[in-house]
Chain A
Amino acid sequence: MPKIFETIDKFKPIYDKTYAFILFICKILLVADILITSMAVAGRFIPFIPDPAWSEEVVLSLMAYMAVLSAALAIRRDAHIRMTAFDRYLPKKLIVTLDILADIAVLALGVVMITVGWRYAVRIGSRGFYVSMPNLPRFWMYFPVPVAGVAMVIFELESLYNHIKTVFSMKGGKA
């Protein structure tokens, strides 16, 4: 197997830490969503608990960030739903080739989401604000799209690398 793989493999701990950090953020976002929504409900029935007007918009924005960040985690776990029904009938080499093709396509989608998403978020951000929080630009509402792109690219690169490595290890095995 080429030596370059040994060099690149040294980055794996960084990926592990990134994964753990993003998972931590996602859990915090989920807990925040639950607490804010519960507080808003309780605030309707219990006088001393606040029922802030911003709760709904904040909860939705937090969920958007959680959705895009956690989706990137699923790329690393290879957990996204895909049709694997016929895998057992296909040669392993073909499966890895298809995986590489999918990785490249998703990588390209990630790049589109970064560029188009960033431009849109900046444009919209300069024009409008959250309804319930007049000081907060709507940039933060659309910012999850480029964030999704970045997170996708980070973990797709690793996935692509792993699949290419598998191809080389298969060749090595045959030799």
Chain B
Amino acid sequence: MSQEGIAILILIGSFLLMVILRFQISYAVALASLFTLLYLKLPLTTICQQMVKGISSYSLMAVPFFITMGVLMGSGGISERLIALANALVGWMRGGLAMVNVVDSFFFGGISGSAAADTASLGSILIPIMVDQGYDREFSTALTIASSVEGLLVPPSHNMVIYSMAAGGVSVGSLFLAGYLPGALLAGSLMVTVYIITLRRNYPKGDKFNLLHMFKEIARSFWALAAILIVVVGVVAGYFTATESAAIAVIYSLLVSIFIYKGTTWRGVWKALNECVDTLSIVLILISTSSIFGYLLTHLHVPQHAASSLVGITDNPIVLALLINLILLFLGCIMDMAPIILIAVPILLPIANSIGIDPIQFGIIVVLNCGIGLLTPPVGAVLFIGSAVGKVSIERLAKAMIPFYIAMIGTLLLVTFIPEISLWLPSLFMK
């Protein structure tokens, strides 16, 4: 075996071994890189260079800011307002409250950008109400966690910013716009699934549609939804970069939460910052250490080797696209979202490009795959949060998820094979 082959084996083999041995992934990537550097007799200062380089990206600053914005808005009492808005919009349908659950995640997820926050925040309010109205507990919980994935696609999503970095600087504005239609498609497919189940189980209808009430709720939620507008319009129109818009959105969220919604106080904000630091403590170091790993992947030509190996199996683009999805889904089942994006994207993106998948579309595919992974055993974090919030065992919850898994996989296939779903909006606004 060549020196490069052995180095790749050390890099990927030791990393996988350490992951299996329950090492923290942030440090497993750094250790695997350290072993490889030692084997290749490369200077260990590469660790310092790459760690600092990994974290010294101005675009990356959007990640902590978006997380802070979501936490501030969440603690500022927007959940109830958004539920009321969704109720006014779709509560009148058959299975109205279930529809509210789906639509609400579209709004709330857009603000929080986190499936876990969506499940914990909306689930704790909506699941008990749904159960009181006669919906099965398993169904209510499964729907809550399935719809939470919308938030990963609907902008502003900090995972899109991480993908942008991992993909070598894909436009964050384009990624934001690209997420809207797939997010809406996912919501639509979940609503169709809900409707079918609702008819079979005869779940109740909500109150009659009232136009005046709807406008009233839009007005009540306006200040929360405007945060999304500031970010998306600001970035797309070129007024701000993603990072700048995120910082402005944090200040805006702070003012709305304290002075308009009066859902929190300055003391509450200071406390809420603990939650931001808790989340950032996991994400940022991972980005930093993954940078060394990414450098070595490139140095050892791993993406090219992976591409030629995969193309060696088949050169049919449809089969290759399905294979990429399978790999991402498998990784999603055993790993968390950020490490998959940071580690797998540099390897899989060149393969996706070679079969004509645009980097923007690939970003949506990766995020959706990872989102589905968050809901699958054995490590799906959102599945566990849903199980705790909904008080349903993992086994019963996974069983209730089956129709929603089908809907989500259907959406994933549409997003994979119809590029326009992701690329139409960016092509319209980002010229």
Contacts and interface: CB of A to CB of B under 8 A. Distances in A.
Contacts of A153: none
B148 interface: no
B31 interface: yes
Given A26-B277, A71-B26, A73-B277, A84 B379 contact: yes
A143 B368 CA distance: 37
The winner among A41, A73, A144 for most chain B CB atoms within 10 A is A41
A83 B26 CA distance: 12
B68 interface: yes
Contacts of B20: 83
A67 interface: yes
Given A68-B285, A117-B48, A145-B51, 6 more contacts: A27-B273, A67-B285, A71-B285, A98-B21, A116-B45, A141-B56
B25 interface: yes
Interface in B94-139: none
A136 interface: no
Interface of A: 23, 26-27, 30-31, 33-34, 37-38, 40-41, 56, 59-60, 63-64, 66-68, 70-71, 73-75, 77, 79-87, 95, 98-99, 101-102, 105-106, 109, 112-113, 116-117, 119-121, 141-142, 144-145, 148
The 6 A-B pairs with the shortest beta carbon distances in the complex, nearest first, are A85-B378, A71-B285, A70-B281, A67-B284, A80-B24, A37-B247
B284 A77 contact: no
B12 interface: no
Interface residue SS majority, chain B: helix
B44 interface: yes
B336 A81 contact: yes
Contact of A82 (B24, B34, B251, B285): B24
Contacts of B223: none
Contacts of A56: 58
B334 A142 contact: no
A81 B287 CA distance: 12
Given A63-B284, A73-B281, A83-B334, A33 B27 contact: no
Nearest to A145: B48
Interface string B56-70: 111011001100100
A155 B208 CA distance: 58
B274 interface: yes
A105 B25 CA distance: 12
Contact of A33 (B18, B26, B51, B64): B64
Interface of B: 18-27, 30-31, 34, 44-45, 47-49, 51-52, 55-58, 60-61, 64-65, 68, 240, 243-244, 247-248, 250-251, 270, 273-274, 276-278, 280-282, 284-288, 334-336, 338-339, 377-379
Contacts of B338: 81
Contact of A37 (B65, B280, B282, B377): B65
B379 A64 contact: no
A148 B289 CA distance: 11
A105 B244 contact: no
Contacts of B273: 27, 30-31
A64 B288 CA distance: 9
By secondary structure, the A interface counts as: helix
A31 B72 CA distance: 13
Given A81-B286, A95-B22, A144 B61 contact: no
A64 B280 contact: no
The residue in A95, A141, A145 that gathers the most chain B C-beta atoms within 10 A of its C-beta is A145
Contact of B61 (A33, A75, A109, A119): A33
A31 B20 CA distance: 37
A129 B191 CA distance: 57
B44 A112 contact: yes
B31 A109 contact: yes
A63 B56 CA distance: 8
B282 A81 contact: yes
Given A63-B284, A73-B277, A85-B334, A116 B26 contact: no
A34 B250 contact: yes
Contact of B23 (A64, A105, A148): A105
A113 B288 contact: no
A116 B22 contact: no
B38 to A, nearest CB: 10
Nearest to B24: A80
Contacts of A71: 26, 281-282, 284-285
